[in-house]
Structure 1
């Protein structure tokens, strides 16, 4: 109970549907070999047809395998099929590169064909990305070697962090279980859990250090071969985001760091600390924060609150509970954290959680349901238009959090309850702004160092600590930081998603700006918001924002979004100073 069902993807690995889809990849190879690459509308449509069908098949297969592994990292059958799928995809890489090159180099005016015209933005992107494509043979080689290189190192990090256990108060605890205790009401439990967490990381730090070094080395090498100036430039291009927008975002964040430090120092003083807040008390609850929820109570609460914003969001939320689209509780072998996997080819999504009944978990569910809601807005597009970029990926999720937080504040029956809600909000926003900034600084330095040296675990820990000092400043106690946060965050361990940190800050602040718009002018907002989410897959970040009349390339937008946070800091300090 409270585990997700994957039967809508496949009933099992032995099912006829799974085996047929897996076998069809061999047929795709034959079909791609016979394609005509004449520069005509007919040839282009034939290539697009193959790409669409292949894309759907691969996403369905990979989703079933990856979702199975996310809740059971030791599943040997899933691991085996992951390797089988990877080998089959390697054999298709050079044909896919040839199709991509063909689309990127075509001179045909696709606007004259109604079906192809839907892919105008896709063709524009393909033309730009063609500049960074290597030869078909080299692309195939990179893909093939990646299975035993970057992907293997990533799998090692996931396996070690999901399997590691340590004794805590007489019981074996996983990493996810220990991290959940960071929100415990008992101060001694929080500190002890943090110390156990650090000890647990100490068991795996050396192996994970090798994972991180080799992944970043591969990214640097391939990025340079393709002609990118840096992995950051590659990330920005793939994110459909300009350097000007990133610079504006980071400038605003740097300007507002003192505000966050003021909040942290005040929280520290309230808790009895003189030199800033210890890392293990970042999530210490304050006020009347003893409210807990059962799974069913979260359903009732979220459906009610979302129905007041958008009926289709509330209906979707109820469906996720009723049809077992969410996996709630932590268990051995299950990865930590939470995520949502959009499955537009079956017009569904799946959400993985590590639920403990806390208020923070309610916000996490709301966050992941936002990703799912985003998925409902893009699934009407053609298959090759299903992917949105990293920065806008966090828009609907953090907007959902804003909805819930606003209701919690309105419903607070006492100052203690209000303190609890505001402090929960400040915890979250500090993570997506300050901690994310520290992760950005960390990854930047790791990439720079990896150009010339290998970083063992102690050096990586030092880089992490320095990044935290620069971001948190005197808001945290420098004698009690988190040297192993680089082990915990899986976002570092991908050859295809470098710098998956600033998108959280972008999404959090962008959605904050949107929510302020909603509060000021609610009439017609939901319809326009839906249009914005739909646009995310077929426009740049900047053009997507223009749907709402916003210019995200200017620092003033981000200052405005951050200024609302300062109001909450002031209110929190006032309420807790009495």
Structure 2
């Protein structure tokens, strides 16, 4: 697929580039705002309203400038300017954190009616959340802020640089040997139709990571060592900060994993049912994301993919398809295939400008079309909240994944409805891939990471121990459904190295299961579904997951029964696939 047929984003209506006055001016204004706020904090003579206004302006600018850095690094991972600029922004963000603490302390002096009187009601949820957080006990905040900037935040950059060094040789099914970067390896494992290439890339990555595993384990030890020192100082449980960050109770996560374990043998069928179609008794780890063997070889043009996505989402509301047109018109979508691009896909936003951006590399497959729908779901989620104060649009990962995975579900539902027999097989194949990924692969990551964190609290973790933890986590969830283990997962997956998110995996399962709950309601054509759905999304920045589900759907997510309802909805695809496979076999015999 030629690059020129794919949308490339533009920043002409935003910050243009690092040297442009739009960027430098915004950064200078942020620095001035924070300097003024710091001076006020030093004197102690300020009102809650005054400091909140300065904080909000500083946050909007700095969060936007940091998002712009991510965009620039993603479109060119070899742009060395990014790290330099990001360090400046991070320095200001550390100051912003200290200003926030002073602001929260000032909030304690407010009477009930003053929240409304001073126009600070939008801060109330966040304030109460922070007030009840055990991390509030952290002393020496300034020291930790400095250490975070100098010794913690750079860990993610170390991971990025390490993976930029990947340049492996692998042979495809035609016998051609090529070099593959980290990004290209990721793309191949996420859905290349060439089984020989998938296997060879997987094997070469295994060799590479086996050789360099100690460096990655060092990075993980550094990352969790810093965090645990901070948690210890705050007298805080090592897992609590993650649940607080994701605005979900520990009981709810335990209930979800308990429900998954109750259905794990059934969930594994989403893996085992695909193995025969790949010519294997048990599926290989390199084939977990393999496309359907009956998928059309012809690539899906981007315009066709977008048209299909819009038609599907129009059945929810024309408002969503209109938003996609706006994203394309404004050049807020990046989908081109270019050298030095980062792997994966993401959405981000510029709070200061009330703009969204979507990043991906579109390769013309059905999986990539679904990926476009996923990221556009994130962007639309923010778009319908952009009129709100930024603090109320900071929805946690656990709820951020709902609109995106719901978009996926609606798209697949639409494709199924309009499919012929071959297309139906391909769509159900994709459903099984998603079910296995969200209900097995993500729990593997959670099990591995939580075990690593526990072990790290007792001292440094060795590469051998890391490998054993990975194998145990894989066995717990996949058991005998695969013939091997993705042993390099702790080194390959960027989720483990993020410094702005802690335990960056289980929210995907939460989002997927909530989307299954929502798609059932959409199928049932419940009255006013779109209005309820939209109201639910607009509450995601100002309520916990537990409370928001109770408010809009009268369900208790601390009970396994709720999660079993969601899981059983997803397992309906397994039953559909089994019935179709049986019918297919009968027709062939």
Q: TM-score normalised by the shorter chain: which range applies?
A: over 0.9
Aligned equivalent of 2:467, options 461, 464, 469: 461
Residue 525 in structure 1 maps to residue 529 in structure 2: yes
Match of 1:375 in 2: 382
Contact 1:325–1:351 (8 Å) recurs in 2: yes
Aligned equivalent of 1:566, options 563, 571, 575: 571
- Secondary structure of 1:172's aligned partner: strand
Contact 1:270–1:576 (8 Å) recurs in 2: no
Contact 1:179–1:193 (8 Å) recurs in 2: no
Residues 34-62 of structure 1, C-alpha deviations (whole Å, 9 max, x = no match): 4379999x811112111111111111221
CA distance in 1, matches of 2:209, 2:332: 31
Question: How much does 1:307 deviate?
Answer: 1.7
Residues 64-109 of structure 1, C-alpha deviations (whole Å, 9 max, x = no match): 2221112222212222111222234445543343223333564554
Question: How much does 1:245 deviate?
Answer: 1.1
CA distance in 2, matches of 1:178, 1:304: 32
Match of 1:440 in 2: 446
Match of 1:12 in 2: 17
- Secondary structure of 1:148's aligned partner: helix
CA distance in 2, matches of 1:494, 1:558: 27
CA distance in 2, matches of 1:146, 1:540: 27
Q: Unaligned regions of 5+ residues in structure 1, if any? A: none
Q: Which moved more, 1:156-165 or 1:24-33?
A: 24-33
Contact 1:150–1:495 (8 Å) recurs in 2: yes
| Alpha carbons of structure 1 residues 386 and 38: separation in structure 2 relative to 1, 3 Å | farther
Match of 1:364 in 2: 371
Aligned equivalent of 2:184, options 155, 177, 180: 177
What does 1:222-261 correspond to in 2, within 5 Å?
Answer: 222-230=230-238, 232-261=239-268
Aligned equivalent of 1:218, options 204, 226, 246: 226
Match of 1:321 in 2: 328
Aligned equivalent of 1:431, options 437, 442, 446: 437
Match of 2:174 in 1: none
Match of 2:194 in 1: 186
Question: How much does 1:393 deviate?
Answer: 1.0
Contact 1:355–1:361 (8 Å) recurs in 2: yes
Contact 2:33–2:57 (8 Å) recurs in 1: no
CA distance in 2, matches of 1:387, 1:134: 23
Q: Which moved more, 1:525-534 or 1:151-160?
A: 151-160
Question: How much does 1:317 deviate?
Answer: 1.1
Match of 1:145 in 2: 147
- Secondary structure of 2:384's aligned partner: helix
- Secondary structure of 1:12's aligned partner: coil
Aligned equivalent of 1:99, options 94, 100, 103: 103
| Alpha carbons of structure 1 residues 69 and 104: separation in structure 2 relative to 1, 3 Å | farther
Residues 282-335 of structure 1, C-alpha deviations (whole Å, 9 max, x = no match): 123335312531222222221222222211110111222232212224544322
Aligned equivalent of 1:65, options 60, 64, 69: 69
CA distance in 1, matches of 2:115, 2:494: 41
Residues 493-530 of structure 1, C-alpha deviations (whole Å, 9 max, x = no match): 13442221111111000111011011113431101100
Q: Which moved more, 1:291-300 or 1:556-565?
A: 291-300
CA distance in 2, matches of 1:516, 1:90: 44
CA distance in 1, matches of 2:498, 2:186: 22
Task: Tell me the TM-score normalized by structure 2.
Answer: 0.91
CA distance in 2, matches of 1:540, 1:39: 33
Question: How much does 1:111 deviate?
Answer: 4.2
Aligned equivalent of 1:125, options 109, 123, 129: 129
Aligned equivalent of 2:493, options 489, 492, 496: 489
Question: How much does 1:434 deviate?
Answer: 0.5
Residue 513 in structure 1 maps to residue 520 in structure 2: no
CA distance in 1, matches of 2:115, 2:348: 32
Q: Which moved more, 1:358-367 or 1:294-303?
A: 294-303
Q: Which moved more, 1:51-60 or 1:277-286?
A: 277-286
| Alpha carbons of structure 1 residues 61 and 104: separation in structure 2 relative to 1, 3 Å | farther
Residue 551 in structure 1 maps to residue 556 in structure 2: yes
| Alpha carbons of structure 1 residues 538 and 289: separation in structure 2 relative to 1, 3 Å | same
Residue 301 in structure 1 maps to residue 277 in structure 2: no
Residues 538-577 of structure 1, C-alpha deviations (whole Å, 9 max, x = no match): 1111221121333222211111111122222122123224
CA distance in 1, matches of 2:134, 2:474: 38
Contact 1:161–1:335 (8 Å) recurs in 2: no
Where has structure 1 moved over 6 Å in runs of 4 or more? Answer: 36-40
| Alpha carbons of structure 1 residues 361 and 388: separation in structure 2 relative to 1, 3 Å | same
Q: Which moved more, 1:366-375 or 1:173-182?
A: 173-182
Question: How much does 1:157 deviate?
Answer: 0.5
Aligned equivalent of 1:351, options 353, 358, 367: 358
CA distance in 2, matches of 1:352, 1:203: 31
Question: How much does 1:422 deviate?
Answer: 0.4
Task: Tell me the TM-score normalized by structure 1.
Answer: 0.93
CA distance in 1, matches of 2:546, 2:43: 35
Contact 1:72–1:334 (8 Å) recurs in 2: yes
Question: How much does 1:383 deviate?
Answer: 2.2
Match of 1:400 in 2: 407
Contact 2:64–2:351 (8 Å) recurs in 1: no
CA distance in 1, matches of 2:430, 2:251: 32
CA distance in 2, matches of 1:213, 1:12: 35
- Secondary structure of 2:168's aligned partner: strand
Residues 13-47 of structure 1, C-alpha deviations (whole Å, 9 max, x = no match): 2222322222234423432244379999x811112
Q: Unaligned regions of 5+ residues in structure 2, if any? A: 172-176
Aligned equivalent of 1:499, options 494, 497, 503: 503
Aligned equivalent of 1:541, options 539, 545, 556: 545
